[in-house]
Amino acid sequence: MKTDVSKNSANNRIGIGLLGYGTVGKGLESLLTDKASDAFFIAKILRRISKANRSDMVESIEDLLSDPKIEIVVECLGGIEPARTYIIEALKAKKSVVTANKALINRFGDELDTCAKENGVVLRFSAAVGGGIPYLSTLIEVKKHTQISAIGGILNGTSNFILDKMERESCTFEEALSEAQTLGYAEKDPSADILGWDSLNKIRLSGVIAFNTWINIDSIPCTGIDSIQTKDVEFIQSLGYHIRLFATMIKTNLGHSAYVEPQLFNSDNAEATILSNHNIAWFTDMSGKHQALIGQGAGGLPTAGNILRDLYQIKEDAKGMLPEERSLKNIDNNELSHAYLVRTSKSLKSGFLEAITVFKWIQGNRIYRITKNIQVSRFHNLMHQLKQLEPIFYAGIKKKENQ
């Protein structure tokens, strides 16, 4: 980055314009303050009108972008608008941009990356996946010397916090979600966390980095943990399993397969050991070598840590993160199948479920079933239909490391 030090007041440090002052924005401020950063300082913060109560806080994007001390804009607003418009304005004003906004990069990453290139600046989003884990930057490094064959893991800190807390404390789903919100792990609208959409955005974004391929998001089977109940967790524990929300994308002979769903892991699997708001994000290379990164996947300080990493990358002249060549494809899930655990009420009649059941337990008004292996996309489609009738719960049963 060509830093014009003459325009930076505070000891030649690079001025940051911060958009939003929520959990992550405050996390970045405290990282820069606590570490008394000799490289960056927050010059201005854009806040909502009624909340701009400090002399460094402004209420309009124009006031922030017109500050000549600001060379990099950090977007911590979340959501699509006004984040997208503000980022475009920042890029056109020749400011590089760092964001953790996975939903935005998923929908508008191509447009924003092009805009950055046209204006000779960069767009980085390391914190969009894995909270504080340097997953995307690791995938970029790994790809330089080997091909990646599969990626995946536990990519949502909120749902992991909920499932772990339900397991260890036998609390209700609602109690665990409320605590995750208080701790600043959940999205503004926690539906994205508990319905699997946040994991979906993260695996798809990781996929474009690992495989140069955007998978059509509507073609990826995705189910979350919204219908899980304390009794389900107890039953799963009685079978010797832990439950985690899992996401994966795998290179196949014809394209790429991917899905997001709760899965059961026995204690031989690393996923079973991931507690609290932590994530595990792994990749497998063509030789079958499997490597994983583990760390806090949500929260203000961890996420700000990855943002800070991007700031240093920009200072050191790093490029943007999206690969130059990118294609858009539909999913190819033909090769993927495994067994499922399904909980329904006794009154739900399904000939299909009955036909694929291998084991069945009746507990009061509930029926738990383990199915034979079934193709993932097909199973999700059928369960989606049954979910219209009642809030059934289902989870994949993990067999192999990369499925």
Q: Which of 75, 193, 261, 332 binds ligand HSE (CB under 6 A)?
A: 193
Looking only at the bridges linking them, the beta strands covering 290-296 and 337-345 are unpaired
Q: Which is nearer to ligand HSE, 297 or 320 (CB)?
A: 297
Q: Is 221 in the site for ligand HSE (CB under 6 A)?
A: no
Cβ–Cβ < 8 Å for 21, 51: yes
Say which of 202, 329, 346, 399 is annotated catalytic: 202
Sign of CA dihedral 340, 248, 125, 294: positive
Q: Which of 167, 198, 226, 261 binds ligand HSE (CB under 6 A)?
A: 198
Q: Is 296 in the site for ligand HSE (CB under 6 A)?
A: no
Q: How many other β-carbons are positioned within 10 Å of the β-carbon of residue 203? A: 28
Task: Give the shortest CB-100-to-ligand HSE separation in angstroms.
Answer: 7
Q: Is 156 in the site for ligand HSE (CB under 6 A)?
A: yes
Stretch that binds ligand HSE, among 59-67, 85-93, 155-163, 169-177 (CB under 6 A): 155-163
Cβ–Cβ < 8 Å for 234, 170: yes
Cβ–Cβ < 8 Å for 323, 214: no
Of 273, 279, 255, which Cα lies nearest the Cα of 333? 255
Q: Which is nearer to ligand HSE, 302 or 396 (CB)?
A: 302
Q: Is 297 in the site for ligand HSE (CB under 6 A)?
A: yes
Task: Give the shortest CB-366-to-ligand HSE separation in angstroms.
Answer: 29
Q: Is 158 in the site for ligand HSE (CB under 6 A)?
A: yes
d(CA 334, CA 107): 26
Residues 131-150: x/- map of binding to ligand HSE (CB under 6 A)? x-------------------
Stretch that binds ligand HSE, among 107-115, 186-194, 239-247, 336-344 (CB under 6 A): 186-194
Task: Give the shortest CB-111-to-ligand HSE separation in angstroms.
Answer: 22
Q: Which is nearer to ligand HSE, 270 or 386 (CB)?
A: 270
Q: Is 125 in the site for ligand HSE (CB under 6 A)?
A: no
φ and ψ at residue 13, rounded to 5 degrees: -80, 160
d(CA 302, CA 351): 47
Q: Which is nearer to ligand HSE, 25 or 297 (CB)?
A: 297
Q: Is 226 in the site for ligand HSE (CB under 6 A)?
A: no
Q: Which of 186, 208, 311, 342 binds ligand HSE (CB under 6 A)?
A: 186
- Report the b/e string of 15-29 with b at 16+ CB within 10 A: bbbbbbbebbbbbbb
Of 328, 309, 59, which Cα lies nearest the Cα of 219? 328
d(CA 291, CA 280): 10
Q: Which of 41, 173, 185, 394 binds ligand HSE (CB under 6 A)?
A: 185
Q: Which is nearer to ligand HSE, 156 or 333 (CB)?
A: 156
Residues 104-123: x/- map of binding to ligand HSE (CB under 6 A)? --------------------
Stretch that binds ligand HSE, among 77-85, 154-162, 208-216, 230-238 (CB under 6 A): 154-162
What is the residue type of 21? Answer: Y
In three-state secondary structure terms, 150 is: strand
Q: Which of 298, 314, 336, 339 binds ligand HSE (CB under 6 A)?
A: 298
Concerning whether 349 is annotated as a catalytic residue, the answer is no
Task: Give the shortest CB-127-to-ligand HSE separation in angstroms.
Answer: 7
Task: Give the shortest CB-306-to-ligand HSE separation in angstroms.
Answer: 10
d(CA 390, CA 138): 42
Cβ–Cβ < 8 Å for 192, 103: yes
**Which residue bears the tokens 């807390």?**
165
d(CA 304, CA 55): 23
Q: Is 157 in the site for ligand HSE (CB under 6 A)?
A: yes
Of 396, 394, 390, 387, which Cα lies nearest the Cα of 346? 390
Q: Which of 187, 271, 310, 332 binds ligand HSE (CB under 6 A)?
A: 187
- Report the b/e string of 39-61 with b at 16+ CB within 10 A: ebbbbbbbbeeeebeeeebbeeb
- Could you give the residue numbers annotated as active site? 202
- Return residues touching ligand HSE (CB under 6 A): 131, 156-158, 185-187, 193, 198, 297-298, 303
